A and B are shown apart, each in its own frame.
Chain A
Amino acid sequence: MNLDSKIPEGPIGEKWTKHKFNLKLVNPANKRKYDVIVVGSGLAGASAAATLAELGYNVKCFCFQDSPRRAHSIAAQGGINAAKNYQNDGDSVYRLFYDTIKGGDYRAREGNVHRLAEVSVNIIDQCVAQGVPFAREYGGLLDNRSFGGAQVSRTFYARGQTGQQLLLGAYSALSRQIELGKVKMYPRTEMLDLVMIDGHARGIVTRDLVSGEITTHSGHAVLLCTGGYGNVFYLSTNAQGSNATAIWRAHKKGALFGNPCFTQIHPTCIPVTGDHQSKLTLMSESLRNDGRVWVPKNKGDKRNPQDIPDEDRDYFLERKYPSFGNLVPRDVASRNAKEQCDAGKGVGASGLAVFLDFADAIKRLGEDQVRAKYGNLFDMYEQITGENPYKTPMRIYPAVHYTMGGLWVDYNLMTTIPGLYALGEANFSDHGANRLGASALMQGLADGYFVIPYTLGDYLAGLGTKPVDKNHPAFKEAENKVKENIKKLLSINGTKTVTEYHRELGKIMWEFCGMARNEQGLIKAKGMIKALREDFWKNVKVLGENESFNQSLEKAGRVADFLELGELMVDDALNRKESCGGHFREEYQTEENEAKRDDDNFAYVAAWEYKAEGQHTLHKEPLKFENVKLTQRSYK
C-alpha cells in the first residue's frame, strides 16, 4: 500500500495557502445536494458540523451523550495555544510550529503542524466572536499564560474551564444550525459500524441508546470526530463513555491506524485511592506555572510536608531541568515522577505520588490571587481528596490522558478509506509522540473550523451530486452484522461482568504498555490480552435485551473493541525499538535516562492495516524534516 500523505510541495509557510487554492470547490447551489455524516460532537465534531452546515451542506451529527454539549472536550481545563504574540514575547507561527514538532519528539509531519500553527490565530478570533469569555487583563485585552514545552506565553484560557467554554461556543454554533434545519442532531445515538460502497465510505450503522433501534444513515462522506482511546487503560482522565468503537470498526473496514502506542501520560492527576476507582481526575498543567514539584530528599521521610525543611526537599524538575523547570513537557515530567516513586521517595499512603506545592506562590501572590487563577481546581482537589491545597501541598501522580495515535489521515484529514475522515484526537496527525499542553483544543478546532471545510469540498466535487443509494445491499449487510454482534454479546451469559474485563485489561496495559515499556513485558502483555479477549467472548455477563436502554450492553461493545485495540497498541510498542516522547522503551535511553530516539530507523509513522483478529500488517510513512533539525530534545 502506498501511503500518500499529500503534503503540498513548496516552502513550509506557503504549503497551506497554495493547497487551499488548488483544492476543488463545490458551488454554493450544489452544496445542498451533499449529505455529510459527523460522528461526535466535541470540539472537532461540533465545529465541523456547524461550519459545514453554514457552507450549505446537509449535516447529520451523532453523539452518544444526551446532549452534544456534554462531549468530553468539555473537561479540558488549562487552555488553548495560539501564535498571536499578544504578549510581545517573541512568539510567532514558526515558533509554535517549532515547539510542537520538538515537543512531539520529531514524530509528527512538518506540513500538518505548520498549518495548525497558522490557523491557531483564527481560532481565537472565532471563539471571541462567538462570545467565549476568555480571561482578560484590566485593560480589556486577552490574557495569556505559559504551558509546558514553551518559553513564551501563548495559552489563552477561561479560568480552569477552557474546554467547557470553547465547547459551549462550538455547541452554540451547532445549535444555531440545528435551528436553521441544516444539521439534524442525533443525541444518545452510537455509531456501531461503517457502511462502504465500492470502497468508499457511504454511511454508518447506529444504535439508538434509548430504544435500542438499529438504523442506517447514508452520506457522501463520513467524519469521525470521536476522540481518543485512553480508556483502553480503564483508569484515565477520559469520560466514562469515551470509547474507540467508531474508529476501531472503521479500522476493521480498512482505515489504517497510525502510531497506536503513542499515549500521553499526564503528570498532574489526583492519585488512585483504591480498586473502586472509576476514573482519574486531572489537575491542569497550568498549575505548574505556580506550583513546585518535589519529593523528600530522603527515602521514607514520612513527616508532614510542611514540616520538611527546604534542605530536605528535592525539587527534582527544577534541579534537573533548570531552564524549563516545572514546565518541562508532559512526558518528561511524568517519567521523572515515576522515577522518584520507583526510588522509594513517593509520598502519600500508596507511595505513588509527588507533591505539587503552592506555598511559595501563595507567599508571593497572596491566597486571593491564587484563588482567582486556580480556584475551581483547588476546590475540585479538596472535594475529591478531603485535603485543602491552600494549606497542604497537592499530591499528584501521572495518569493516562490523551492518545496521540489514531486513524491515519493524509493532509486533507482523509483516512485510507475514500470519503472517511478523522478529525481531532481521533486522528494521529499533529502531535507526534507527545502532545504539548493546550494543543488538543487547538487541533480539534483547527480541524473542524478551518481545515475540513476546505478539504472536504475537494473530495465531494469529484463525486458528482447523485444521492447515495440507500437501497444498496451494503446497508442491510452492515446492519445485520451489527445485530448479530449484539445478539452474541447478549447470549453468552457468563459469570464475569464487563467492568471486570475492562479493569483487567487496564491493569495489563498500565503495567506493560504504560509509562515505561520493554520487550519482555510487551510480549507477555500480548499473550495476556489475547487470553483475556478469548475469555471475554466465552464468559462475559451482559444482562437485558437490545430493545431497551441498556448501559451494560453499550459498555460491552466498547470493551470488546478495547480488547482488540489493546493488542495492536502492544504490537506497535514492540515494533518501535526506540524511545520517543510518551513511548519510553527501557532498552533505549540515554545515560541520563532520557528518551533515546533512533532517527535512522524509526523516523516514520507506523500505520497498521487490519488483516484478521490479532493480525496486522505494518506500513510505513517516512517523515521528512526539511525545516527543523532533528536533535536530542533538551529542556535543561
Chain B
Amino acid sequence: MSGSMKLTLKVWRQKDARSKGQFVNYEAKNISPDMSFLEMFDVVNEDLIKKGEEPIAFDHDCREGICGACSMYVNGRPHGPKSGITTCQLHMRSFKDGDTIVVEPWRAKPFPVLKDLVVDRSAFDRIIQAGGYVSVNTGGVPDANAIPIPKKDADAAFDAATCIGCGACVAACKNASAMLFVSAKVAQLAFLPQGQVERKERVEKMVDQMNEEGFGSCTNTGACSVECPKLISQDNIALLNREYIKAKLTSDNV
C-alpha cells in the first residue's frame, strides 16, 4: 500500500567530516500520507540503492520520539514544521503533494557533520559527564520513601528531565547555544532534594564544559524552547542563570 504523493527533496550530501558538502535533488515518489518522514527517506534510499547510488545517511533509532537520535533540519526548522515532535514522529500528511522539502543536518560548530545528515553530538555527553548527576554509588542508599518530595517539585523536575538530548535547541539557536540542554539537567536536579549536595559545583562544571565545547551564548530569543520536541520551557534557562550566579558568588573553586 504505497501512496501517490510526489515530492522533491533537496538534501545535504557530504561524504565525510573533511569533505565539502552540497545540496542534491531527489524525487520522492509513491509516498503515502501515513508514512513518517523517515519512512519517506527509507523509500528514497531503497530507490537509490537499486540504482547503485549510495543511500542518504541519517541518524535514527527508536522511531517513537524518545531516543533523540533523529536530527533533521526540515524546511529551515529542526524536526520540521510541527511543534513538539521529533522528525520520526513527523508524518507526510503534514505536507502537500508536489511540495519541495529542504533537508539539512544540524548546523552548529560544536556538532560537526560526520556524513550527509549525521552530526557528532558527543559534546552533550561531555557536558553531562562534567557534572550532570548525583554522585551516589550503587547500594547503601536510603529507602525510596525516606524523603518525601512535594508533588509540585517532582513534577517540575520531571518536566525538565524529559529532555532527549537531540540537539534541536542548539540547531535552532542563531548563536548555537546549548543553554536549554544544560538548564534542563541543572533544573531537574535543583528541584530535587537529592541534587542539593552538589548543586553549586554541578552548575559551575557543566557551564564550564559547555563553554569549552564552543557553544554560543544565550540571547533569549526563545527559539530553542519553541523548537524543542519535548517543549522544555525557557524558564529553565532563567533558573540556570540564577543557579550559576549564586554558585559563582559563593564558589569554593576560585
Return the contact of A275 from the options B2, B38, B63, B120 (Cβ within 8 A).
B2
**Nearest Cβ on chain B to A413's Cβ, whole angstroms:** 16
- Contact between A67 and B165 (Cβ–Cβ < 8 Å)? yes
- Contact between A129 and B141 (Cβ–Cβ < 8 Å)? yes
- Contact between A273 and B1 (Cβ–Cβ < 8 Å)? yes
**Residues of B with C-beta under 8 A to A47:** 138
Q: Provide 5 A-B residue pairs closer than 8 Å at the C-beta atoms, listed in order of the A residue.
A: A72-B61, A126-B139, A175-B133, A179-B131, A549-B16
Assess whether A134 is interfacial by the CB under 8 Å rule: yes
**Nearest Cβ on chain A to B43's Cβ, whole angstroms:** 6
- Contact between B149 and A72 (Cβ–Cβ < 8 Å)? no
Complex interface bits, B175-193 against A, C-beta within 8 A gives 1, otherwise 0: 0000000000000110010
**Residues of B with C-beta under 8 A to A141:** 145, 148
Which of A157-165, A505-513, A577-585, A599-607 is found at the contact surface with chain B? A157-165
- Contact between A172 and B142 (Cβ–Cβ < 8 Å)? no
Return the contact of B132 from the options A72, A159, A172, A386 (Cβ within 8 A).
A172
- Contact between A171 and B128 (Cβ–Cβ < 8 Å)? yes
Cα-based distance from A135 to B155 in the complex (angstroms): 8
Cα-based distance from A384 to B53 in the complex (angstroms): 30
- Contact between A67 and B122 (Cβ–Cβ < 8 Å)? yes
- Contact between B134 and A383 (Cβ–Cβ < 8 Å)? no
- Contact between B151 and A239 (Cβ–Cβ < 8 Å)? no
- Contact between B16 and A548 (Cβ–Cβ < 8 Å)? yes
6 nearest A-B pairs in the assembled complex, by CB-CB distance:
A140-B148, A274-B1, A172-B133, A129-B141, A133-B158, A128-B144
**Residues of A with C-beta under 8 A to B133:** 130-131, 172-173, 175-176
Cα-based distance from A549 to B57 in the complex (angstroms): 8
Assess whether A86 is interfacial by the CB under 8 Å rule: yes
Return the contact of A70 from the options B50, B69, B138 (Cβ within 8 A).
B69
Assess whether A279 is interfacial by the CB under 8 Å rule: yes
Cα-based distance from A158 to B148 in the complex (angstroms): 16
Q: With A158-B158, A241-B61 in contact, do A131 and B130 touch (Cβ < 8 Å)?
A: no
Complex interface bits, B51-71 against A, C-beta within 8 A gives 1, otherwise 0: 011110101111111111100
Within 8 A of B (CB), among A363-392: 379-380, 383-384, 386
Complex interface bits, B26-66 against A, C-beta within 8 A gives 1, otherwise 0: 00000010111011001100100110111101011111111
**Residues of A with C-beta under 8 A to B118:** 549
**Residues of B with C-beta under 8 A to A621:** none
How many chain-A residues does the 8 Å CB contact rule pick out? 83
- Contact between A70 and B2 (Cβ–Cβ < 8 Å)? no
**Nearest Cβ on chain A to B32's Cβ, whole angstroms:** 6
Assess whether B162 is interfacial by the CB under 8 Å rule: yes
Return the contact of A240 from the options B63, B144, B162 (Cβ within 8 A).
B63
**Residues of A with C-beta under 8 A to B89:** 380, 383-384
- Contact between A240 and B91 (Cβ–Cβ < 8 Å)? no
- Contact between B192 and A276 (Cβ–Cβ < 8 Å)? no
In the complex, what residue of chain A is closest to B118 when comparing beta carbons?
A: A549
Assess whether B219 is interfacial by the CB under 8 Å rule: no
Q: With A241-B61, A450-B138, A453-B138 in contact, do A125 and B143 touch (Cβ < 8 Å)?
A: yes
Cα-based distance from A179 to B188 in the complex (angstroms): 20
Cα-based distance from A240 to B65 in the complex (angstroms): 13
Cα-based distance from A342 to B135 in the complex (angstroms): 54
Return the contact of B55 from the options A129, A277, A551 (Cβ within 8 A).
A551
**Nearest Cβ on chain A to B212's Cβ, whole angstroms:** 14
In the complex, what residue of chain B is closest to A71 when comparing beta carbons?
A: B67
Q: With A72-B61, A131-B157, A159-B158 in contact, do A449 and B42 touch (Cβ < 8 Å)?
A: no
**Residues of A with C-beta under 8 A to B34:** 273-274, 276
**Residues of A with C-beta under 8 A to B64:** 75, 237, 279, 281-282, 380
In the complex, what residue of chain B is closest to A156 when comparing beta carbons?
A: B144
Q: Which residues of A contact B (CB under 8 A)?
A: 47, 50-51, 54, 65-70, 72, 74-75, 84, 86, 122, 124-131, 133-142, 158-159, 161, 163-165, 168, 171-173, 175-176, 178-179, 185, 187, 210, 237, 239-241, 273-279, 281-282, 379-380, 383-384, 386, 449-450, 453, 495, 497, 499-500, 541, 543-544, 548-549, 551-552
Cα-based distance from A86 to B144 in the complex (angstroms): 10
Q: Give 5 new A-B contacts, CB below 8 A, not counting A72-B62, A128-B147.
A: A67-B121, A70-B69, A142-B145, A176-B135, A548-B115
**Nearest Cβ on chain B to A487's Cβ, whole angstroms:** 18
**Residues of A with C-beta under 8 A to B63:** 239-240, 278-279, 281
Assess whether B203 is interfacial by the CB under 8 Å rule: no
Number of A-B contacts (CB under 8 A): 225
- Contact between A178 and B158 (Cβ–Cβ < 8 Å)? no
**Residues of B with C-beta under 8 A to A380:** 64-65, 89
Cα-based distance from A276 to B154 in the complex (angstroms): 40
**Residues of B with C-beta under 8 A to A138:** 151
**Residues of A with C-beta under 8 A to B101:** none
Cα-based distance from A171 to B134 in the complex (angstroms): 11
In the complex, what residue of chain A is closest to B161 when comparing beta carbons?
A: A133
Complex interface bits, B160-180 against A, C-beta within 8 A gives 1, otherwise 0: 011011000000000000000
- Contact between B85 and A383 (Cβ–Cβ < 8 Å)? yes
Q: With A274-B1, A274-B34 in contact, do A140 and B61 touch (Cβ < 8 Å)?
A: no
Most buried by A among B63, B114, B133, B138: B138
- Contact between A134 and B49 (Cβ–Cβ < 8 Å)? no
**Nearest Cβ on chain B to A238's Cβ, whole angstroms:** 9
Cα-based distance from A68 to B15 in the complex (angstroms): 25
Q: With A133-B161, A275-B2, A549-B57 in contact, do A126 and B138 touch (Cβ < 8 Å)?
A: yes
Cα-based distance from A601 to B93 in the complex (angstroms): 54
Q: With A130-B134, A137-B151, A175-B129 in contact, do A278 and B61 touch (Cβ < 8 Å)?
A: no
- Contact between B158 and A75 (Cβ–Cβ < 8 Å)? no
Cα-based distance from A48 to B189 in the complex (angstroms): 23
In the complex, what residue of chain B is closest to A67 when comparing beta carbons?
A: B125
Most buried by B among A51, A84, A168: A168
- Contact between A69 and B154 (Cβ–Cβ < 8 Å)? no
Assess whether B195 is interfacial by the CB under 8 Å rule: yes
Q: With A66-B59, A178-B129, A549-B57 in contact, do A140 and B69 touch (Cβ < 8 Å)?
A: no
- Contact between B1 and A275 (Cβ–Cβ < 8 Å)? yes
